[in-house]
Amino acid sequence: MMNRSAFCLFLILLLSGCTFLPTNIVNEIDMSQGVGYDLSEKSNIKGTIVFPIFKKDKTSTTEVRTAIGKSSKEIRSILNNETRYPLVSGQIRVALYGKKIAKTGINDFVDTLHRDPAIGSLVQMAIVDGDANQLYKMKKYKNENVSIHIQELLEHNMKMGLLPQTNLQSFLFQYFQIGQDPYLPLIKKEADNIRITGIAIFKDDRYVTSFPMKDFFIFKALVDINNIGLRQFILANRDKVVLETLDSNAKYKVKILDGRPEFTINLKLKTKLQEFAPSEKKRQAFDKKKYQKQVEKEIEKSALSIISQFQKHKVDPLGLGAKYKEHFRGFNEKQWNEDYPNVKIHVNANVEIVQTGSID
């Protein structure tokens, strides 16, 4: 049995043990909250970090530092030699990649984030139509903290808008899954604002193409479950219908015909009518069945149009290859990549307008 003196010594060591561990005092470290990468001259990389500067009894400001190097690790080492306190990565909120460097591949930079145990998997990522460095340096966000602004801009539009859910975790899942290509938000500096302008689509880790905001509604319905958002439809007779999605679900069916897959996407949407403006400027009742059918045709047409663009560029953000692989034991990735541009894909939309307000 432990004697009294030994127990006391054990208790003292237990209570004081934490003092032997390294500690970080908040005002003695620089907490990186944003990182960015761009191509520089002679195949070098321009790395940017953003971190807040806290001053006692004063408004905090945001510091933006840049370095040129051959790798993200070299850039981090250079920047550490320039900052007053050690740079730590545990608070990184967003990682941005200029379009030029994204075209060469971003796996090395994403892998660095993934392997850092201090960085969470929910870090937001985006491609910049332009230079990530210039976007971070916008004077408008000097005091607001540009990293947090971009993070909240993306997350708000994913939760309440038409931007599909993305982050470091989803990018890695799509990248490593056989039969699917990743996608990320595309953002741009426009005048004094940062705007979401499209979705960037990758082949493996290389940026290949993008599509504009007008296609967000369709794409989000195809890849996200229970998405919400508004979409305006200008129908054949110029009637305008604005619908809010209350619930959506896309089910993919695969048939193997003559050794080749054929896909049918059944897209079901439950919606609420937000606005109805008939082309004839006179009061009229809203014919729910009529407009449901017209909206269904418009959705099917738009979905097939965007899917054909994916096939043209040989990118598969919908994960059709992965779904094919699940149903066919003889799946061959090389053969699938050859067949994909010509695979037949059908879309059936089922739109239910459950609330029409006072227009009924």
Task: Taking residues 131-135, report their average pLDDT.
Answer: 95
| CB within 8 Å of 9: residues ≥ 6 apart | none
State how far the Cα of 321 lies from the Cα of 252, in Å rounded to an integer. 11
Render pLDDT for 29-71 as a digit per residue (tens, 0 to 9). 667 889 999 999 888 999 999 988 877 666 677 889 999 999 8
Q: What angle do CA 31, 32, 35 make, to 5 degrees?
A: 180
Structural domains in the chain?
26-212 (no CATH), 225-360 (3.30.300.210)
> What is residue 135's three-state secondary structure?
helix
Residues constituting the chain: 360
Indicate the helix (H) or strand (E) that contains 136.
Answer: helix 132-136
**What's the order of all strands across the beta sheet hosting 344-355?**
229-234, 240-257, 260-277, 344-355
Q: By the 8 A CB rule, do 277 and 240 touch?
A: yes
Task: Output the pLDDT for position 28.
Answer: 61
Query: Which pTM was predicted?
Result: 0.87
Q: Encoding tokens for residue 164?
A: 């599909």
Q: Encoding tokens for residue 307?
A: 């899917």
Q: By the 8 A CB rule, do 174 and 164 touch?
A: no
The mean predicted confidence, pLDDT, of the chain is 87
State how far the Cα of 29 lies from the Cα of 27, in Å rounded to an integer. 6
Render pLDDT for 136-177 as a digit per residue (tens, 0 to 9). 999 888 778 899 999 999 999 998 889 999 999 999 999 999
